[in-house]
């Protein structure tokens, strides 16, 4: 038998055998390409991007509160049950009638002026009873002081925008981690399939040799049966392994936001434990890089400003209001007076000051609730800082154990390879049995698979450490 399963002593090259050897018919993605597509299509990333757009809009909205608000209003009112309104001239007519009566003297100019004034007042009072009353106005409102709520609101919006940017970056890092972990699983499964298929080739050679020996009278039928049983066992197992392989590949496609494809392939390799540098483990650097801590810091700043917002309700609000309004009152809808700056256009400006004196302690309780939220955030922040060290130590322990397993499994592969080589040589000269040769072959396959699994576990542990230190 040829030594097709021979493995190098250094074991530095960790490229998945199946991916390096096969020619793919379907779409092929590298690890970097898979991450790029996943970042473009991930629903989590898109959702985080929309949240960022929302907070960016909130900043503009906050600045809008500092500008005057200009409103246009129009109103048409129909009042029922009123008679036509006519201009009053009763007092003036009475004066004129008295002037024609010889028993009375002619009214003085003062009397005529007074009569005209009374007539005008009566006409104005009657004008309130026009059936059709319309108005069109523009009002401008400028907040001059609101207990600091406007400026603080802008600061909160800016901090929320910063928090959204941090969340978006963290979400992208999480997607990268998901792709990496799924990619490692695919590499392991592809390697398992390749090793199994090569073992099947050797077993097929063993079946052929046992058959030839049996037919020539140099072997027994039992040798043929044993070799065939081992081969059939691998054939039945590899089908399930290939199905798992396809599912795992489409698991990456799912993260990438792409549809199911049974022909898709991925090409790449594990990180090499011998060449991969350790991340920065200093707590100072970790605190700067961990997105969760930055998120809590932003939330603490927002909660602090929310306390200021609620406390602003104890302070007065000063608003400047100005406007112009055209009003029209008629007996008929189709009759309209032309706008006249002095007669039917009202101009006004007002300075309003409001301050709550009592609202059932609602403001007091809202301030207390805001301060409680702030304290809760501060507690979470302190707890997170303490938890980072524990998380890093746990990841280091897992990584160290995984590294030991690699060394052990590497040694197992070397011993299994040597055992197979010696058994194969002894079998060829008739000094070893076929069953021992098959056992050595199966042991070598198992050792190789366990080695690849150890590499996978080390890569997963290393990626967990990258996340714990914020270097992902």
Residue 247: count other Cβ atoms within 10 Å of its Cβ. 13
Query: What's residue 103's pLDDT?
Result: 59
Q: Determine contact, residues 453/271, Cβ cutoff 8 Å.
A: no
The pTM assigned to this predicted structure is: 0.75
Q: What are phi and psi of 13, to 5 degrees?
A: -80, 120
Q: How confident is the model at residue 377 (pLDDT cuts 50, 70, 90)?
A: very high
Distant-in-sequence contacts of 369-374, Cβ < 8 A, 24+ apart: 369/310, 370/303, 370/306, 370/307, 370/309, 370/310, 371/307, 373/303, 373/306, 374/300, 374/303, 374/304, 374/306, 374/307
Which region holds residue 361: left if phi is over 0, alpha if psi is between -120 and 50, else beta? left
- Looking at residues 136-147, what average pLDDT do you find? 95
Beta strand pairing status for 69-78 and 132-145?
antiparallel
**416-437 per-residue burial string, b: 16 or more CB within 10 A, e: under 16:** bbebbeebbeebeeeebebeeb
Residue 267: count other Cβ atoms within 10 Å of its Cβ. 19
Confidence check: pLDDT of 206 > 90: no
Query: What's residue 9's pLDDT?
Result: 31
Share of the chain above pLDDT 90, in %: 66
> On the CB side of 296, how many CA atoms lie within 13 Å of its CA?
18
List the one residue out of 128, 390, 425, 173 whose CA is nearest residue 292: 173
pLDDT per residue as tens digits for the range 218-276: 778 888 888 888 888 888 889 999 999 999 999 999 999 999 999 999 999 999 999 99
Query: What's residue 2's pLDDT?
Result: 35
Q: What CA–CA distance (Å, rounded) separates 260 from 279?
A: 36
- Looking at residues 305-316, what average pLDDT do you find? 93
**Burial (CB count within 10 angstroms: exposed 0-12, middle 13-18, buried 19+), residue 112:** middle
List the one residue out of 454, 461, 373, 417 whose CA is nearest residue 6: 417
Q: Determine contact, residues 91/115, Cβ cutoff 8 Å.
A: yes
Which two structure tokens, joined as six digits, stand for 395? Answer: 């990841």
Contacts for 437 with CB less than 8 Å, ≥ 6 apart:
1, 206, 420, 423, 424, 427
């Amino acid at each position: 038998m040829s030594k097709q399963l021979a493995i190098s002593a250094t074991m530095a090259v960790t490229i998945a055998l199946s991916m390096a050897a096969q020619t793919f018919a379907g779409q092929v993605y590298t690890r970097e390409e898979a991450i790029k597509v996943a970042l473009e299509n991930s629903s989590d990333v898109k959702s985080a991007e929309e949240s960022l757009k929302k907070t960016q809009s909130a900043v503009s909205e906050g600045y809008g509160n500092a500008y005057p608000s200009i409103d246009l209003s129009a109103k048409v009112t129909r009042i029922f049950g009123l008679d036509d309104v006519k201009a009053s001239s009763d007092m003036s007519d009475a004066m004129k009638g008295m002037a024609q009566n010889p028993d009375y003297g002619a009214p003085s100019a003062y009397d005529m002026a007074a009569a005209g004034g009374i007539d005008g007042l009566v006409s104005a009072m009657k004008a309130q009873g026009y059936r059709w009353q319309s108005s069109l106005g523009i009002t401008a409102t400028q907040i001059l002081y609101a207990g600091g709520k406007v400026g603080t609101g802008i600061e909160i919006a800016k901090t929320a925008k910063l928090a959204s940017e941090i969340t978006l970056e963290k979400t992208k890092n999480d997607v990268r981690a998901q792709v990496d972990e799924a990619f490692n699983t695919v590499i392991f499964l592809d390697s398992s399939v390749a090793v199994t298929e090569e073992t099947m080739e050797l077993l097929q050679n063993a079946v052929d040799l046992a058959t030839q020996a049996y037919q020539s009278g140099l072997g027994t039928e039992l040798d043929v049966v044993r070799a065939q049983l081992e081969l059939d066992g691998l054939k039945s197992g590899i089908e399930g392994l290939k199905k798992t392989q396809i599912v795992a590949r489409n698991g990456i496609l799912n993260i990438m936001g792409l549809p199911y494809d049974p022909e898709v392939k991925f090409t790449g390799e594990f990180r090499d434990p011998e060449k991969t540098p350790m991340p920065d483990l200093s707590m100072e650097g970790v605190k700067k890089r961990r997105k969760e801590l930055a998120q809590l810091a932003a939330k603490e700043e927002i909660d602090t400003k929310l306390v200021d917002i609620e406390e602003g309700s104890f302070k007065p609000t000063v608003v400047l209001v100005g406007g112009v309004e055209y009003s029209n009152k008629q007996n008929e809808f189709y009759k309209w007076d032309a706008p006249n700056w002095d007669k039917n256009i009202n101009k006004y400006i007002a300075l309003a000051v409001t301050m709550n004196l009592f609202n059932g302690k609602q403001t007091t309780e809202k301030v207390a609730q805001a301060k409680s939220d702030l304290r809760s955030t501060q507690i979470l922040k302190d707890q997170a800082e303490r938890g980072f060290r524990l998380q890093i130590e746990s990841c280091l322990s897992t990584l160290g154990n995984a590294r030991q397993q690699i060394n052990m499994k590497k040694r197992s592969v070397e011993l299994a390879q040597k055992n197979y080589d010696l058994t194969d040589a002894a079998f060829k000269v008739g000094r070893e049995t076929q069953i021992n040769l098959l056992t050595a072959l199966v042991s070598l396959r198992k050792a190789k698979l366990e080695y690849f699994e150890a590499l996978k576990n080390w890569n997963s542990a290393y990626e967990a450490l990258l996340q714990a230190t914020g270097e992902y």
